[in-house]
């Protein structure tokens, strides 16, 4: 049994994670933390109360409960501190919160190695989204003209999504940096951002609307043809197999691992 603490337990993703941990026979929920404390985790998951209450002090909970793994689905502005706190208590963080900068990831890597405590970060835990990223990288070898459109709910705090950023980075590994579109194209006055963000010449577009959970389309263009790869998340349960897999495997890793693809056979 791997002992787990869920951080951000009262949020939409957090509640789903609590349920997934309770449902898995190889994981044991020992604690939960959220800025909104007091709730019973059994009730959060839709089950009978189990006496494991949501706390508000992460460091104190880690010190007392000593879980092996902390699963974090919180906010971009606090996740870095949460990870540092977990590693400082020799607890392995499994992070689904997006918004970490490369400099922060580098610091997490160094701290994980210093504390001899493995850490795991994934921009997306859905198996289909991981396959989309891998297929996009493969396609870009042959069709390097590409744009990315990611669509999320209107409560998401960061843009572009971690999935889009990771997809662009993976494509850049096999695509020489170059500008796309007409070399003389200009955005109309007052329409800054019409072409989206520019990453090594690729354009990345973020859509935020109610009704979406998470979707991404990667469009490749070539002479006389286009290729579209798309993944749609219709339920937050889609992330849970990946979250559970990472929670079970993280303690066998070394340093910092980024991306669920690293755990797939």
- Any idea which residues carry the catalytic annotation? 152, 156
Strand 202-208 with 197-199, pairing? antiparallel
The answer to whether residues 256 and 112 touch, using CB atoms and an 8 Å cutoff, is: yes
Sheet hosting strand 197-199, strand order edge to edge: 197-199, 202-208, 145-152, 214-222, 225-233
How far apart, in whole angstroms, are the C-alpha atoms of residue 145 and residue 142? 9
Distances in Å between the Cα of 79 and the Cα atoms of 8, 58, 108, 209, 243 are 10, 12, 11, 24, 16
Name the token pair of 185. Answer: 């194209």
The beta strand positions in 48-161, using DSSP E, are 54-55, 69-72, 92-95, 119-121, 145-152
The answer to whether residues 90 and 69 touch, using CB atoms and an 8 Å cutoff, is: no
The answer to whether residues 40 and 49 touch, using CB atoms and an 8 Å cutoff, is: yes
In terms of Cα–Cα distance, which of 138, 141, 136 is closest to 150? 136
Name the token pair of 2. Answer: 């791997």
**Chain centre distance of CA 77:** 14
Residue with the two structure tokens 């992330």: 239
């Amino acid at each position: 049994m791997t002992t787990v603490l869920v951080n951000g337990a009262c949020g939409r993703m957090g509640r789903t994670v609590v349920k997934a941990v309770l449902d898995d026979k190889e994981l044991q929920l020992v604690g939960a933390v959220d800025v909104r404390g007091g709730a019973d985790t059994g009730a959060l998951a839709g089950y009978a109360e189990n006496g494991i209450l949501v706390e508000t002090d992460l460091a104190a909970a880690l010190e007392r409960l000593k879980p092996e793994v902390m699963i974090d689905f919180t906010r971009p502005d606090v996740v870095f501190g949460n990870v540092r706190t977990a590693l400082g208590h020799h607890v392995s963080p499994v992070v689904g919160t997006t918004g970490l900068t490369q400099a922060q990831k580098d610091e997490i890597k160094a701290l994980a190695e210093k504390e001899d405590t493995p850490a795991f970060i994934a921009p997306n835990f859905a198996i289909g989204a991981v396959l989309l990223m891998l297929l996009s990288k493969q396609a870009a070898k042959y069709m390097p003209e590409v744009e990315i459109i990611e669509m999320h709910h209107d409560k998401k705090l960061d843009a572009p999504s971690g999935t889009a950023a990771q997809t662009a980075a993976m494509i850049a590994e096999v695509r020489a940096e170059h500008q796309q579109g007409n070399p003389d194209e200009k955005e109309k006055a007052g329409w800054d951002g019409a072409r989206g963000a520019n990453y090594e010449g690729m354009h990345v577009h973020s859509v935020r609307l109610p009704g979406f959970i998470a979707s991404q389309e990667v469009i490749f263009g070539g002479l006389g043809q286009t290729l579209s790869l798309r993944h749609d998340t219709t339920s937050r349960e889609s992330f849970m197999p990946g979250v559970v897999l990472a929670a079970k495997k993280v303690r066998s890793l070394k340093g910092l691992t980024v991306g669920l693809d690293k755990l797939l056979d």
